[in-house]
């Protein structure tokens, strides 16, 4: 976004200017605090996306519920046709026959086909042939969804709970830590930090792209402290903790990387509001060297110590 450095407004593709002081545009989990009204169900919905994104528990609930429903529908069809069209139906009352038809349907839709019960005449044969085709297609769908769910890449980056304003070289810097807890290799990791600030005396907001000490790394094996040096070109140069709070600052972070495990580009988003910044603290130094290996204790990524600002 090289050309955007000179721009101040609407930097994030949202025509939002007037937002209140306490407002957080981006939540910690990377979702936006924006609600779209009057979008038709058809426009909004994305079945594949929903089925791939929902939790496993919900996904299996949908599957099991669908399986039961389909079998009830087909069991009803078989009983409507008459269970005399099926071999070996032993039930003598309607309920028993329905139950047997239900399990015959289950054996058909899964293409299990024990054959202990089998269709005898034309009507039952038509329904069974239809059901088995439907079963194959639904199963084809389920296969695709399972693969889609499993192979869906996600940047599993963890952020330090707070950002810091800490001494950095001769000056100060705004900094936070990111960690890659997975064994997945992240390559060519790029970080963008955009600062949202309330314009003085108004409720309008300006967006500033922050210059970083480094905005891209080739590998990202474990940990990275992202630093915005507060030079005199920085929009927060010379501002105090109180001013930052008053301006309702929000530091919006976007990380782009290539995940080698999934062979896919992945994105991670998060933000730090003015209340999530600690002033005059520094991250402790974590890497420990032991012979031929470097060890990093990821449980300590939030640990800081006091450090006088310059």
Query: Which of 76, 85, 132, 239 is in the footprint of a second copy by CB under 8 A?
Result: 132
Smaller CB distance to a second copy: residue 199 or 214? 214
Residue 222, phi then psi, degrees to nearest 5: -145, -60
Beta-bridge partner residues of 217: 189
Q: Which stretch binds a second copy (CB under 8 A): 75-83, 150-158, 270-278, 302-310?
A: 150-158
Q: For a second copy, how many residues bind (rule: CB under 8 A)?
A: 130
Query: Which of 29, 55, 114, 242 is in the footprint of a second copy by CB under 8 A?
Result: 114
Query: Which of 61, 94, 139, 200 is in the footprint of a second copy by CB under 8 A?
Result: 139
Q: Please list every residue from 21 through 80 that binds a second copy, using CB under 8 A.
A: 22-25, 32-39, 43-49, 52-53, 63-64, 67, 71
Smaller CB distance to a second copy: residue 132 or 304? 132
Q: Are β-strands 163-168 and 277-279 bridged in parallel, bridged antiparallel, or unpaired?
A: parallel
DSSP state of 43: H
Element containing residue 127 per DSSP (H, E): helix 122-150
Write down the least CB distance from residue 79 to a second copy, Å.
16
Q: What tokens appear for 305 in the block?
A: 């110590």
Residue 218 in the binding site for a second copy (CB under 8 A): yes
Write down the least CB distance from residue 196 to a second copy, Å.
12
Q: Which stretch binds a second copy (CB under 8 A): 74-82, 106-114, 237-245, 274-282?
A: 106-114
Beta-bridge partner residues of 281: 306
Residue 119 in the binding site for a second copy (CB under 8 A): yes
Rounded distance between C-alpha atoms, residue 119 and residue 113, angstroms: 11
Residue 198 in the binding site for a second copy (CB under 8 A): no
What would the x/- binding string for a second copy be over residues 227 to 266, using CB under 8 A? ---------------------------x-x-x-xxxxxxx
Local structure of 286: helix, strand or coil: coil
Smaller CB distance to a second copy: residue 80 or 146? 146
Residues 6+ apart with CB under 8 A from 253: 159, 176, 191, 192, 193, 226, 269, 270, 271, 272
Query: Which of 123, 148, 167, 280 is in the footprint of a second copy by CB under 8 A?
Result: 148
> What's the start-to-end Cα distance of the chain, in Å?
31
Q: Please list every residue from 13 through 32 that binds a second copy, using CB under 8 A.
A: 13-20, 22-25, 32
Local structure of 16: helix, strand or coil: coil
Q: What tokens appear for 34 in the block?
A: 């924006």
Rounded distance between C-alpha atoms, residue 81 and residue 127, angstroms: 9
What would the x/- binding string for a second copy be over residues 156 to 195, using CB under 8 A? x-x----------------------xxxxx-xxx--x-x-
Q: Name which of 212, 304, 307 is nearest 255 in CA terms.
A: 212
Residue 220 in the binding site for a second copy (CB under 8 A): yes
Cα 138 off chain centre by: 26
């Amino acid at each position: 976004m090289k050309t955007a450095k000179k721009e101040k407004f609407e930097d994030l593709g949202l025509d939002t200017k007037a937002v209140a002081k306490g407002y957080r545009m981006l939540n910690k989990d990377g979702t936006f605090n924006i609600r779209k009204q009057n979008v038709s169900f058809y426009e909004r919905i994305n079945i594949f996306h929903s089925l791939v994104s929902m939790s496993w528990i919900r996904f299996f609930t949908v599957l099991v519920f669908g399986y039961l429903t389909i079998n009830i529908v087909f069991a009803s069809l078989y009983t409507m046709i008459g269970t005399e069209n099926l071999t070996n139906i032993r039930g003598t009352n309607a309920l028993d026959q329905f139950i047997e038809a239900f399990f015959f349907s289950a054996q058909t839709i899964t293409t299990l086909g024990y054959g202990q019960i089998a269709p005898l005449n034309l009507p039952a044969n038509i329904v069974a042939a239809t059901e088995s085709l439907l079963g194959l297609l639904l199963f084809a769908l389920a296969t695709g969804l399972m693969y889609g769910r499993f192979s869906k890449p996600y940047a599993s980056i963890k952020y330090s709970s707070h950002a810091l304003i800490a001494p950095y070289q001769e000056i100060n810097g705004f900094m936070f830590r990111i960690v890659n807890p997975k064994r997945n290799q992240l390559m060519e990791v790029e970080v963008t930090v955009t600062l949202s600030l309330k314009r003085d005396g108004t409720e309008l907001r300006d967006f500033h792209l922050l210059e970083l000490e480094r905005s891209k790394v080739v590998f990202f094996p474990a940990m990275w402290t992202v630093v915005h040096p507060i030079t005199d070109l920085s929009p927060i140069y010379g501002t105090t903790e109180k001013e930052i709070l008053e301006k309702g600052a929000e530091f919006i972070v976007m990380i782009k990387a290539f995940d080698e495990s999934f062979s896919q580009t992945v994105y991670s988003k998060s933000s730090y509001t003015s209340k999530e910044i600690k002033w005059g603290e520094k991250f402790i130094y974590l890497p420990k060297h032991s012979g031929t290996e470097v060890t990093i204790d990821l449980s300590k990524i939030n640990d800081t110590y006091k450090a006088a600002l310059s």
